[in-house]
Amino acid sequence: MLPNGDLLEVTDAQPDLMRLVRSSYGTFGVAYEVTYRIRPLLPMAVYPETFALDEFVAKVDSLKARGESMFWYAFPFADRITVEFRRHNPGATGIPNRAAWILRNYLWGTAGPRFGHDIEATIPEPTLRYEVIDSFGAILRFKLEHLVRADYTLPPDQIVEYPPVSDDRRYTFSLFAPEAKFPAAFSEFIAFVRDYHDRVGYRSNLAYVGYRIAQDQNALLSYSYDGNVMTIDPVSTGNPGWKPFLEAYNQFCSDRGGMPLLNQTFGLTPAIARKAYGDRLKTFAEARRKFDPGDRLLNDYFRMLLA
């Protein structure tokens, strides 16, 4: 339904319009009917591995060659990164391991953020505070490597369910995808966060994470539109200094050709968005004006980005 009350039917036979609608984040109208594509549920294997940071960078190409899903937890101040490899395993037999993802999601979605929040609130001395946080990181790596490991899990079990009302386990993250420049950008990012801590005194109280994401051109503003990407995602409970850090992080990523996720990367500017999305952002802005000439569905955030 468009802002003027008209109904607009969009089908897969109109791929260009479909890409615009999927990018709209609600700025074109109200979606009242959605058709899902369903595929059979396949068993999934998961096995984490830990590397030194330089070792990980040196092996990135060979790790990608495995053809498996990758999600990682990076610990810049401990010189470690734990990569969670996942792959479909249709030959798995027996009973699926439901405990692996329950434990992982508890550690990542509840225990870790709550611990970071509570330590931030109760230990005012920074050196001691981050020694304690780094010790928790070592425990997290051990649990991931030895307990979140199975040949037969169910993919939906990996989804983290957040509480309807946020509490002391809440956390936030920002996201940039540096595309093909990832190995160099990741090494420079590690140096960046260490240098930022030395100069400013700020560091996140949670692990940094990242994903390997396949190319997706289903949405015009997809951040993997031009090819596969590997992301760098700072994560925090929002501890003091988080937002100024993100301003420096955004510029760091933009300078290296990073692609932000428009609804998740905090502190974006029109200049950073235009540099990342180029003509695609212009195409989106023109289509938005066509379908919503009265700006009824244009919120302040996208009004700023599309200025």
Q: Is residue 104 part of a domain?
A: yes
DSSP conformation letters of 199-238: HH----SS-EEEEEE----SSTT-TTTTS-EE-BB-EES-
How much of the chain, in percent, has pLDDT values that exceed 90?
65
Q: Is residue 2 part of a domain?
A: no
- Give 10's DSSP letter: -
Q: Is residue 130 part of a domain?
A: yes
Q: Is residue 13 part of a domain?
A: no
Strands (E), 30-149: 44-51, 69-75, 80-88
Query: Could you tell me the residue range of the domain that residue 113 belongs to?
Result: 44-268
**Each residue of 11-47: pLDDT tens digit?**
554 555 555 555 554 556 666 777 888 889 999 999 9
Q: Is residue 3 part of a domain?
A: no
Q: Is residue 79 part of a domain?
A: yes
**Each residue of 66-91: pLDDT tens digit?**
999 999 999 999 999 999 999 999 99
Q: Is residue 163 part of a domain?
A: yes
For tokens 């974006």, what's the residue?
Answer: 268
Q: Is residue 89 part of a domain?
A: yes
φ, ψ of residue 10 in degrees (nearest 5): -120, 130
* CATH number of the domain within which 197 lies: 3.40.462.10
Cβ neighbours for 2, distance < 8 A, ≥ 6 positions apart = 8, 28, 29, 291, 292
What predicted TM-score, i.e. pTM, was given to this entire model?
0.87
Total tally of structural domains belonging to the chain? 1
Q: What is the mean pLDDT of residues 138-158?
A: 95
**What is the model's pLDDT at position 1?**
43
